Amino acid sequence: MIDRSEPKLISGNANVPLAKAIARRMSLHRGMSVSLVDARVERFNDGEVFVEVYENVRGEDMFIIQSTSKPANDHLMELLIIADALKRSSAARITAVIPYFGYARQDRRTKARTPISAKLVANMIAQAGIERILTLDLHAAQIQGFFDIPVDNLYAAPVFALDVKHHFRERLQDVTVVSPDVGGVARARELAKRIGCALAIVDKRREKPGEIAEMTVIGDVKGKSCIIVDDICDTAGTLCKAAEVLIEAGATEVHSYITHGVLSGPAVERITNSVMKSLVITDSIAPTEAVLAAPNIRIVPTAPMFAQGILNTWKGTSVSSLFDTETLIPIYEGLYTE
């Protein structure tokens, strides 16, 4: 391993609270102060992104913390320009920590004459000088193959399993994990396996994009506490409709665990007025004031997991150890105690 002093963190504007939380968590692990590199990431009057790094980063192992969330294009350009600034400042290695990878839903051609935007973004990131990616719950696992650089894709399932076991510990036998569509069965099955619960599916059929024609529950949910699991919640239309269908099928209550709370447009209002008792999301995307104020939305922190992932990357040790729930228990100490 190349001899470097300490890992250094730098953040764009996408999710500064998460970046600061990761730095605090790393400070606890290292027993010394770890802070974000002093820099400015601003915009000229015409919208151009400008970056200036105030500290010496020559020969350093740099980690850029930046989700490419809304506004996706602005935050993507910040990531690329920060990487270029670090590369031209002779950083030894540049790793992009992307809690939410935007454009991931455009991972294939769904019809003629459409782009594969996720691949284009992967190319841009590699060309900017980034040598490694650390991300969370890619929308499609095959996106890792779009990159010609190493990609470590962490999973929210181990953290969600801890949360479910804590909040449903008195009635785990009555819990059923539900996939909101056939495509998400593997993700739902993974959580169901971790907590030892049954699995059900909500099969949906669309007449046209954005419009759900019919939903059918596959599996027995009568008298069960249903937990819907998915990676992205955007406008929450499908999620709220699935919750209604589950209640109509006999479920006693419905909760949802979603990794990335995009929550655009009418999403928060829909969730607040829905039959769902709770929606649990991570802080991979910085929550808005409306999200923070919503009575039935709860946020699970990802800083402990990302801090450990960054340290493992820096030290050259296994990142896949973070796939195990048991590994995360000491990392999330105090959060899920009895």
- Catalytically active residues are 204
The answer on whether 139 is annotated among ligand-binding residues is: yes
The answer on whether 46 is annotated among ligand-binding residues is: yes
The answer on whether 308 is annotated among ligand-binding residues is: no
Count of C-beta atoms within a 10 Å radius of residue 94: 23
- DSSP assignment of 46-106 equals TS-EEEEE-S--TT-EEEEE----SSHHHHHHHHHHHHHHHHHTT-SEEEEEESS-TTTT-
Structure-token pair, residue 268: 């928060």
AA letter at 109: R
The answer on whether 206 is annotated among ligand-binding residues is: yes
> Interhelix angle for 303-315 vs 16-30, to 10°?
60
Structure-token pair, residue 205: 């059929």
The answer on whether 74 is annotated among ligand-binding residues is: no
AA letter at 20: K
Q: Are strands 278-282 and 253-261 parallel, antiparallel or unpaired?
A: parallel
The answer on whether 237 is annotated among ligand-binding residues is: yes
The answer on whether 236 is annotated among ligand-binding residues is: yes
The answer on whether 260 is annotated among ligand-binding residues is: no
The answer on whether 235 is annotated among ligand-binding residues is: yes
Spatial separation of the C-alpha atoms in residues 243 and 275, rounded to whole Å: 7
The answer on whether 102 is annotated among ligand-binding residues is: no
Can you point out the beta strands (E) in the chain? 8-11, 39-43, 49-53, 61-65, 93-98, 132-136, 151-154, 175-179, 198-208, 211-218, 225-233, 253-261, 278-282, 297-300
The answer on whether 238 is annotated among ligand-binding residues is: yes
Residues annotated in a binding site for ATP:
46-48, 105-106
Residues annotated in a binding site for Mg(2+):
139, 181
Residues annotated in a binding site for D-ribose 5-phosphate:
206, 230, 234-238
Residues annotated in a binding site:
46-48, 105-106, 139, 181, 206, 230, 234-238
